[in-house]
Amino acid sequence: MNRIFFFRALMSLVVAAALPLFASAQSIGPLKRDAQGRIVPDIAAASGEMSSSPAGTKGRGVYPGQILAPTIEPDRTEFTERARQRQGEVSRILAEEKMAKARGEAVDAQGLTAREQILLTDLTREDREVRAHELAHYYTGRPYTSEPEYWFIVGPLSKRFAVSGHVRFDLSPIANDAEATLKKYEILRRAALAPMTPSPYDQRVAADLDRSMVKLKEQISQAE
């Protein structure tokens, strides 16, 4: 497989994982929303309390067969910006609810208003969906996938929630072994489509792998 295809497929997967899973349009109180029904970000309200948890620290995240050139790393700018915007949305809601409490708004046993309870439920679901999506890629594609890397925000009760993530695929061919490379790509194709709801980018990676496998099968057939 040439380097251009490797890079394109890798970045397709990265962009797919970067897409945030926004809460449903009607789930967080009477807020101002954009034309797509999403909460309008208030960047100025962001607390800056988001963080990333990079795979690969202390030797973790590296597995047999993972050959990723140092120059082919995902651009984390988009991940960070999306998390920053999401944190802005959540921080604004929390600030508004803090003022509501000061005015005597009713709270539950945890000290949350009804609106904060809904926000907590939404962020918990979003975190679960992000993790399940990335782990499906990771476990199905081992040993040719890296541990998921997540981007977090801070929500109610100072809890951290994953709002986006990505899993790197090792798409490098196995040297001088077309049949082994074919088996590897079959594993990675299954990994690309492993989540319950594969994204369009996941499907694009799978399609690219399909085309590469057709070429490999032709090479194997010609060599026989």
* Tens digit of each residue's pLDDT (9 = 90 or more) over 108-154: 999 999 999 999 999 999 999 999 999 999 999 999 999 999 999 99
pLDDT (0 to 100) of residue 223: 79
**Is the per-residue pLDDT at 48 higher than 90?**
no
Select from 76, 69, 65, 82 the least CA-distant residue to 14. Answer: 76
Cα separation values, 116 from 26, 112, 156, 191, 211, Å: 14, 6, 7, 36, 48
Cβ neighbours of 160 (radius 10 Å):
16
pLDDT for 143-199, tens place per residue? 999 999 999 999 999 999 999 988 988 888 888 888 898 999 999 999 999 999 998
Band of the pLDDT at 77, cuts 50, 70, 90? confident
pLDDT (0 to 100) of residue 73: 52
pTM over 0.75: no
pLDDT (0 to 100) of residue 121: 96
Question: Are 34 and 18 a contacting pair, CB within 8 Å?
Answer: no
Select the highest-mean-pLDDT range: 7-16, 25-34, 54-63, 120-129: 120-129
Q: Per the structure block, which two tokens stand in for 94?
A: 């929390």
Supply the range of the domain harboring residue 99: 3-223
Question: Are 35 and 132 a contacting pair, CB within 8 Å?
Answer: no
- CA 55 from chain centre, in angstroms, equals 13
Q: How many domains does the chain have?
A: 1
pLDDT (0 to 100) of residue 141: 94
Question: Are 213 and 185 a contacting pair, CB within 8 Å?
Answer: yes
